[in-house]
Amino acid sequence: MKNQLINKLNDGTAVIGIVGLGYVGLPLALRYLEVGYPVLGLDVDQSKVDLLMAGNSYIRHIPSGPISENVRAGNLRATTDFSRSAEADALILCVPTPLNKHREPDLSYVISSLEMILPRLRPGQVVSLESTTYPGTTDEELMPRIEQAGFTVGTDIFLVYSPEREDPGNPNFNTRTIPKVCGGTTPACMEAGMALYGQVIDRVVPVSSTRAAEAVKLMENIFRSVNIALVNELKTAFMKMDIDIFEVVRAASTKPFGYMPFYPGPGLGGHCIPIDPFYLTWKAREYDVATRFIELAGEINTSMPYFVVQRAAKVLNDREKSLKNSRILLMGLAYKAGVDDYRESPSFRIMDLLEEKGALVFYHDPYVPEIGPSREYFRYSGRTSSPVDAGYDLHILCTAHDEYKSLDPASLNAPVLDTRGLFPDLPGKVYRG
């Protein structure tokens, strides 16, 4: 059974099922289509399915052309009918893994997705989880459910974990060129996993277990979280000394060894860095291990929106204004430059804090014309992007979109609090934040 599956994966005839057609699942689906595999997309969101089947992309950096071509050719099929998962030879789970309000892992999307495909699971399929999670999830949550359904993992069903490494908007790396880590529940599962990804990814990196693969993803994002927290802390210290942290980072970056640049900002955003480290923190408690670096980094990064608001109050105060009733424009809602993804964006928290103090807050983002529904910031749903210069008392640059680089801060009627170091220092007009 394993050999038959691997043969289909190797010769490109296997049907690839992608569960979750978001920022991870859709690029992966397109990569399999590019190589020539037939792809079945499964998602609970009917609007996404309808857009795909009409040949349209709903993610800014993903063009509609390849989608439309593959839909017309019959190579891409998308549906909300999870009973069709039986048609797939491979099922790749690319669903969110958020935190709950207590900063504990929320695996509900993973579990519900698995439970929707379980009734149609059949011998000879490979199941791969790509969602970021704590070490042990695949072994402790997925495998028991599959085996309770009457299958033997490693004989009937082949179970692997391969963490996503998407970086939306990165012009230098894409799904094909980013090396992919893969761990199997058994040696046979590992063989199936290597075959699953080997035809579409330039380099697949095998590790000894699903637990090791789960730990790899957490290490990558914890590394970034801790180092971003470090430069955020240094920013607050250097600012007291009248030193520009962005100048220091640029100069330090000229060292060709022993240093890697990280940049401060208004806080952390995206679905990975603000969330993933706490998956390990939660799991480590089971082993009576205190993850102090992770928790301290989280505290520092979570505090940055408060720091930005304090700086905003100071800039306005120096101009004999108060936060209350001031018109403030947040420039950039997306969590990073060049994308339309605003999940966990610190701009929302800054907006919250400013409005709590009575400010009138607007936002501008060339990639987010309107705020859609979200779990935490649903009250902002429907708010639309405002013009950049429309009688504000303060601009706060939150996202360093390329579109802002051509902007002359001196031409604006109000000063700019620059949290990203995009603009050169301009006394009376540009302030660091």
As a whole number, mean pLDDT of residues 191-203 equals: 97
How confident is the model at residue 210, as a pLDDT?
98
What are the tokens at 285? 């408690």
Looking at the fold, whether 228 and 163 belong to one and the same domain comes out as no
pLDDT at 161 over 90: yes
Which of the residue ranges 259-263, 342-346, 419-423 would you say has the lowest mean pLDDT? 342-346
Q: What is the per-residue pLDDT across 395-411, written as a single tens digit (0 to 9) for each? A: 999 999 999 999 999 99
CATH number for 38 = 3.40.50.720
Structural domain count, the chain: 2
Q: What is the per-residue pLDDT across 13-29, written as a single tens digit (0 to 9) for each? A: 999 999 999 999 999 99
Which candidate in 94, 182, 272, 398 is catalytic? 272
Collect contacts of 65-71 with beta carbons under 8 A, ≥24 apart. 66/30, 66/33, 66/34, 67/30, 70/30, 70/33, 70/39
Check: CB of residue 393 under 8 Å from CB of residue 328: yes
Looking at the fold, whether 90 and 144 belong to one and the same domain comes out as yes
In a domain, 218, yes or no: no
Looking at the fold, whether 369 and 252 belong to one and the same domain comes out as yes
Residue that terminates a domain, selected from 208, 234, 258:
208
Looking at the fold, whether 140 and 187 belong to one and the same domain comes out as yes
In a domain, 393, yes or no: yes
pLDDT at 374 over 80: no
Looking at the fold, whether 67 and 121 belong to one and the same domain comes out as yes
Would residue 272 show up in a list of annotated catalytic residues for this protein? Answer: yes
pLDDT at 311 over 80: yes
In a domain, 219, yes or no: no
In a domain, 267, yes or no: yes
Give the percent of the chain with pLDDT over 90. Answer: 87
Write phi, then psi, for 324 (nearest 5 degrees).
-60, 125
Residue that terminates a domain, selected from 179, 208, 237:
208
In a domain, 389, yes or no: yes
pLDDT at 169 over 80: no
How confident is the model at residue 343, as a pLDDT?
87
Which of the residue ranges 207-221, 289-303, 365-379 would you say has the lowest mean pLDDT? 365-379
Q: Residue 210: which region, alpha, beta or left (left: phi > 0; alpha: psi -120 to 50)? A: alpha
As a whole number, mean pLDDT of residues 189-212 equals: 98
Give the bridge partners for 395, in sequence order. 329, 416
For the chain, helix, strand, coil in percent to 5 are 40, 15, 45
As a whole number, mean pLDDT of residues 32-61 equals: 95
Check: CB of residue 245 under 8 Å from CB of residue 264: yes
Looking at the fold, whether 190 and 311 belong to one and the same domain comes out as no
Residue that terminates a domain, selected from 208, 232, 247:
208
Rounded-to-integer distance, Cα 217 and Cα 165, Å = 8
Rounded-to-integer distance, Cα 296 and Cα 112, Å = 33
Looking at the fold, whether 90 and 14 belong to one and the same domain comes out as yes
Looking at the fold, whether 295 and 406 belong to one and the same domain comes out as yes
How confident is the model at residue 427, as a pLDDT?
87
Looking at the fold, whether 187 and 228 belong to one and the same domain comes out as no
SS3 19: strand
Looking at the fold, whether 320 and 179 belong to one and the same domain comes out as no
Looking at the fold, whether 199 and 329 belong to one and the same domain comes out as no
Looking at the fold, whether 319 and 181 belong to one and the same domain comes out as no
**Is the alpha carbon torsion for 157, 163, 168, 172 positive or negative?**
negative
Give the percent of the chain with pLDDT over 70. Answer: 100
pLDDT at 428 over 90: no
How confident is the model at residue 315, as a pLDDT?
96
How confident is the model at residue 329, as a pLDDT?
98
In a domain, 36, yes or no: yes
In a domain, 323, yes or no: yes
pLDDT at 376 over 90: no
pTM of the model as a whole: 0.92
Domain that residue 293 falls in: 224-432
In a domain, 215, yes or no: no
Residue-averaged pLDDT of the chain: 94
Residue 136's pLDDT band (cuts 50, 70, 90): very high
Residue 275's pLDDT band (cuts 50, 70, 90): confident
pLDDT at 38 over 80: yes
Is 268 or 209 the better-scoring residue by pLDDT?
209
